[in-house]
Amino acid sequence: MDDQDQEQAERVRDLIGDSRYIPFLDRAEESALSLAVKGLANFIIALVTLLNVPAFVIGLMWFIEQLIQKGINPNFKIEYNYTVIASIFGGWLLICFLYEKTLKNMVSPRVLPIWFVNSKGFLRNRFYSVELASKYSKDLDQLILKQAEEHARLQIQSWELQNIRLQETIERVRALNEFPDEVFESIRRIFGYMSDYVTDPSNTRNQFEVVMDMISVEISNYRVIHPLIKQASIMLLDHKKEFLRIAGKYNMPNHAVKSHIVRLGEKFAGKVTRDGEIVWISDVNSEAAQLSYGFVPNAKREYTSVMGFPIQEMGSEQYEPFGVIVIYFSEKIEFTEEEETAINKILEVYAQVILSFIKLYQFNMTLQGMYGIIEAKNEVLGGGTDHVGDPEETRQG
């Protein structure tokens, strides 16, 4: 981290304190729960603050009493008049209340001085202080801005770590001489699509589904498998991790995409995603395929073989499902073990690229929704609307 980044980080820490950024508390639009928590906490702080002066006065009186008893008169005793103490404390509370109310009125363009007999409602405050109001508004804007920067910094760090893992994967596979130059070019093009999304996310060409379609096309164009591929799809779990939906496709009609919804753990795509294991099936009409993955014999089926590659984060100690890459082959395929290993290594890289784009998309949506730029929605892990209810699964997969 250079000096400029360090200075920026220090300014952020000075503004929001030494504690870590907490999304539950540091937010521009409050929920009922966060308002209740903050209200209770600030009430306790206000109560303790008000007790400072009475506690100080009583402590000072006790100290003077002890000092006189030890140095001048052992029988000296201050007679505490609790009525006077209560009156002083009540007066102090009244002064604090009036002081805070005065400050609030000075920054409020409208006031309600006599609410119980006022038929006109709020009145214009002709003694409103523009300077003080601007100062408070400016401080709040700076606070929100710095909180957004801190949130963005943490998310970017996570994304950078993901990219480092991806680069390590590329280098490892490249060292095995199993990573062709055409795939390097493909990954470079995908990073270009992702960069376009970052710079202009509102452009229809840079929408999430469009970029995922481009990634599906890049996967399908790998020369070893391209002549054999009938269709391909990238299926992602919804945010509840219950259903898989198609986020990216190759050579698939739109109506099939909308209707193709699979529950996690069911059928081919759901079981591959749940188990986290790469599966190659050379003949979907075989008895083993029917028993293990529920394929139904169908003479009109457009594909004969299928493979599923689970999308998971590399380096994680525990498997967490995100989705699956499904490739459908028009003919019965019989790859050698070495060929399958090479294809798996390449799909491993594409899976990490997909995860990077998912995190980038989620970060963008979270940041925009949190700070009121757009309305946040419950998205699937990669985009699209959340599914509710039991879907009709219209296709084997």
Both 159 and 100 in one domain: the answer is: no
130, 150, 180 — which closes off a domain?
130
For residue 395, being part of any structural domain is answered with: no
For residue 390, being part of any structural domain is answered with: no
Both 239 and 315 in one domain: the answer is: yes
Both 215 and 271 in one domain: the answer is: yes
For residue 13, being part of any structural domain is answered with: yes
Both 271 and 178 in one domain: the answer is: yes
101, 130, 159 — which closes off a domain?
130
The domain spanning residue 351 has which CATH number? 3.30.450.40
pTM, rounded to two decimals: 0.54
Both 67 and 148 in one domain: the answer is: no
Both 203 and 100 in one domain: the answer is: no
81, 101, 130 — which closes off a domain?
130
Both 274 and 153 in one domain: the answer is: yes
Other C-beta atoms lying within 10 Å of the C-beta of residue 77: 10
Both 148 and 262 in one domain: the answer is: yes
Tell me the C-alpha distance between 201 and 274, whole Å. Answer: 31
Tell me the C-alpha distance between 225 and 222, whole Å. Answer: 6
Exposure on the CB side of residue 71, measured as CA atoms within 13 A: 6
**Containing structural domain, residue 13:** 3-130
| pLDDT confidence of residue 386 | 40
Both 115 and 163 in one domain: the answer is: no
For residue 169, being part of any structural domain is answered with: yes
Tell me the C-alpha distance between 353 and 355, whole Å. Answer: 5
| pLDDT confidence of residue 248 | 93
| pLDDT confidence of residue 311 | 95
Number of domains in the chain: 2
| pLDDT confidence of residue 119 | 60
Tell me the C-alpha distance between 24 and 341, whole Å. Answer: 44
pLDDT tens for the 397 residues of the chain, in order: 456 666 655 655 554 444 444 555 555 566 778 778 877 887 887 777 777 777 787 788 888 888 888 888 888 887 777 777 778 778 888 888 888 888 777 777 777 776 666 666 777 777 777 777 666 665 556 666 666 777 677 777 777 777 777 776 666 555 545 567 788 889 889 988 888 887 777 788 888 899 999 999 999 998 888 888 999 999 999 888 899 999 999 998 887 787 889 999 999 999 999 999 999 999 998 888 888 998 888 878 889 999 999 999 887 778 899 999 999 998 888 888 888 888 898 899 999 999 989 888 888 777 666 655 544 444 445 444 343 333 333 344 5
For residue 287, being part of any structural domain is answered with: yes
For residue 218, being part of any structural domain is answered with: yes
For residue 393, being part of any structural domain is answered with: no
Both 166 and 100 in one domain: the answer is: no
Q: CA dihedral in degrees (45, 48, 52, 54; nearest 10)? A: 140
Both 236 and 364 in one domain: the answer is: yes
For residue 377, being part of any structural domain is answered with: no
